[in-house]
Structure 1
Amino acid sequence: MAGEFGTRFMDQMAVSHFSDGWSQEEMVPGDSITLHPGAHVLHYASTCFEGLKAFRQADGGVAIFRMDKNVARFAQSSSLLYLPEIDTEQTSRMISDIVAHYRDAIPAPPASMYIRPTHIGTEAAIGKAAAPSATSTQMILLSPVGDYFAGGEACLRLLLDDKGVRCGPDHGMVKGGGNYASALKHIMRARASVKADQVLFCPGGDVQETGAANFILVDGDRIITKSLDESFLHGVTRDSLLTLARDKGLDVQERELTIEELIECAAHPECEAGLTGTAAVVAAVGTLIHDGQEYKVGSGTPGPRIRAMRDELNAIQWGQSEDRHNWLTRV
């Protein structure tokens, strides 16, 4: 898996176009699309996407992890951007069919096949800044990816930002390009100023999420994370990890978490924190930075609880342990 994450693609992709209705899906070359320069997406950010993975199973088969949940979120993002309503059955079929087409190219764990459904507004209409695109295209890209931790286990530095916001507070549920673009300036400034890996957005002191991942705090048998609302992305990996934690009887608390409580908990020797997402499952956080001060999270190194959470979910994804919640779709 040479190259950076997500920079290698399969030579074909699945596409479907919306005009008066959705066209029959087809396989086309995966290295280009044709758009009018006035396409709505290029001017008004009418774009959303998903990120999920297909895994080689212990028995040699192939399975997609939580496709139904990702497709439902894809439909939700499309709706919140007022893009044409996707046909979830068609989208699921497109994902399954292209994964099946490339099943022999899906690498063995810990590598996987990353799946990127994308929906863009295509209407040539630069006068529609305050109106949605009437036409659109959805496409399914595949990218074989290696082990996220091949270069060594992550131990991230987070800048706690209580002034900036990742996106509009009523727009965080959208997995759209505009939300990532608006977070980028904060991330770049944090890297330049304090060598942070990511920014943990905490508007008004309320701990939310980073520019690309949900945040969890693990303090003994407690797992604390922000309760779901419109302000941040409802992560599929987050949901999966919390479900497994509840299965084990852990104290999962979805509630408000302030910067003050976070820093206080971080001082506990056994405290751990992590960022959850499709790429890494959960990556450890070792340092918090706030108001010019640095605070270690627990020992400041990756801890056993975060590692165990990642291992447990990986085992399900790789077909090495029981899929009790029917999260895997075999193809």
Structure 2
Amino acid sequence: MGNQEIKVTHTTSKKTKPNPDTLEFGKIFTDHMFIMDYSQENGWHSPRIIPYQPITLDPAAIVFHYGQTVFEGLKAYKTKEGHARLFRPNKNMERLNRSNRRLCIPEIDEEFALQAIEKLVSLEKEWIPTAPGTSLYIRPFIISTEPYLGVAPSKKYQFIIILSPVGAYYKEGINPVRIAVEQTFVRAVNGGTGEAKTAGNYASSLKAQEVVSEKGYAQVLWLDGLEKKYIEEVGSMNMFFKVDGEVITPSLNGSILEGVTRNSVIALLKHWGIPVTEKKISMDEIYEAHQNGVLEEAFGTGTAAVISPVGELAWNGEPLTINDGEIGNIAKKLYDTLTGIQYGTEKDVFNWVIEVS
């Protein structure tokens, strides 16, 4: 697979680029897409970049009935000098293969997948918006395409990459969000698919999200599926808390997605000499820290928002205000540093960035 040539078919009618000031998340797509097929006889084959277009599948395709699909999310950024760059895309490809293994999907050649992303981003470079906080969102995904209603892994797949120019996650700057701790529904359990990036995890989270949205909360903080006691993650983010000078985050337990931004935050905190611990954290501990006045900050980490400070947690019907509803010093420093590395205004001491030619 690694030596295959990616065939490129250019579009004959280029789309009009959107206004960077009115960009939303995931609504506009670029001129081209990458696609590659898998069959048991040929393995992964026929890699190609084609004009962005609908895909045609048999109504019996396994993806529609049994949800055998995985995806990733990463971004391309443009520096003020006009260079396109990717932030740790190799980590996303590693995670895609971890998800593949869990969902019985044949693994991809990570190096080749990275080449495909770079080639597609290079072709669509003019689609990367340059306004502050904007970027080109990259969505690689794999779907099972064999027409078969038996419950078994598919024998055919497609690996597709699409691109979408996206605006700054926060229109008014990086404002703390209000989050509700979920005590009725569960997202995942150890041994399930929680640590894979698969569609069903997101479908099962919609109901809880709908309920809290009606009460004015931005997102749901999930607790463990067995005891509903230990903190896991927010729908699109891993969680961090600063308690009495120490930053703590739930340890990866088999039901938490291993975030690339999470990994980067831990590395930065260690680099700065700030105590950071991965451990099992109960909501009771966080409540107690809040009551004792030592819950200093809470923030989420993820590709979309980078760092999302939490100004309020709703728990047992009680709103817990954190840091007077303001962004904390650590969250601010992490946000500034990570976005600085991504856009090329901060030194990349970890060599996280890949320049796209």
TM bracket, shorter-chain basis = over 0.9
Could you say what secondary structure the match of 2:94 adopts?
helix
Match of 1:228 in 2: 252
Shift of 1:105: 2.1
- Give the letter aligned to residue 175 of structure 1: K
Could you say what secondary structure the match of 2:258 adopts?
coil
Could you say what secondary structure the match of 1:208 adopts?
strand
Match of 1:201 in 2: 222
From 126, 146, 151, the counterpart of 1:123: 146
Q: State the distance in 1 between where 2:324 and 2:243 align.
A: 13
From 297, 304, 329, the counterpart of 1:272: 297
- Give the letter aligned to residue 211 of structure 2: R
Match of 1:164 in 2: 185
Kept in 2, the 8 Å contact 1:266–1:272? The answer is: no
Residue 14 in structure 1 maps to residue 34 in structure 2: yes
Residue 249 in structure 1 maps to residue 273 in structure 2: yes
From 287, 309, 331, the counterpart of 1:263: 287
From 55, 58, 70, the counterpart of 2:77: 55
Give the alignment's TM-score, normalised by structure 2: 0.88
Shift of 1:159: 1.4
Match of 2:331 in 1: 306
Shift of 1:197: 1.4
Shift of 1:219: 3.1
- Give the letter aligned to residue 295 of structure 1: L
Kept in 2, the 8 Å contact 1:270–1:299? The answer is: no
From 111, 115, 118, the counterpart of 1:93: 115
Kept in 2, the 8 Å contact 1:49–1:175? The answer is: yes
- Give the letter aligned to residue 343 of structure 2: W
Could you say what secondary structure the match of 1:140 adopts?
strand
Kept in 2, the 8 Å contact 1:54–1:65? The answer is: yes
Residue 178 in structure 1 maps to residue 203 in structure 2: no
From 101, 120, 125, the counterpart of 1:103: 125
Shift of 1:163: 4.4
Q: State the distance in 2 between where 1:30 and 1:264 align.
A: 52
- Give the letter aligned to residue 112 of structure 1: S
From 65, 76, 83, the counterpart of 1:43: 65
- Give the letter aligned to residue 17 of structure 1: D
- Give the letter aligned to residue 68 of structure 1: N
Q: State the distance in 1 between where 2:245 and 2:347 align.
A: 23
Q: State the distance in 2 between where 1:152 and 1:248 align.
A: 25
Q: State the distance in 1 between where 2:185 and 2:295 align.
A: 30
Report which stretch shifted further, 150-159 or 277-286.
Answer: 150-159
Kept in 2, the 8 Å contact 1:269–1:298? The answer is: no
Q: State the distance in 2 between where 1:266 and 1:298 align.
A: 10
Kept in 1, the 8 Å contact 2:195–2:255? The answer is: yes
Give the alignment's TM-score, normalised by structure 1: 0.95
Could you say what secondary structure the match of 2:159 adopts?
strand
Unaligned runs of 5+ in 2: 1-19
Match of 1:5 in 2: 25
Kept in 2, the 8 Å contact 1:84–1:135? The answer is: no
Report which stretch shifted further, 249-258 or 295-304.
Answer: 295-304
Unaligned runs of 5+ in 1: none
Structure 1: 4+ residue segments shifted above 6 A = none
Report which stretch shifted further, 51-60 or 109-118.
Answer: 51-60
Q: Number of paired residues? A: 328
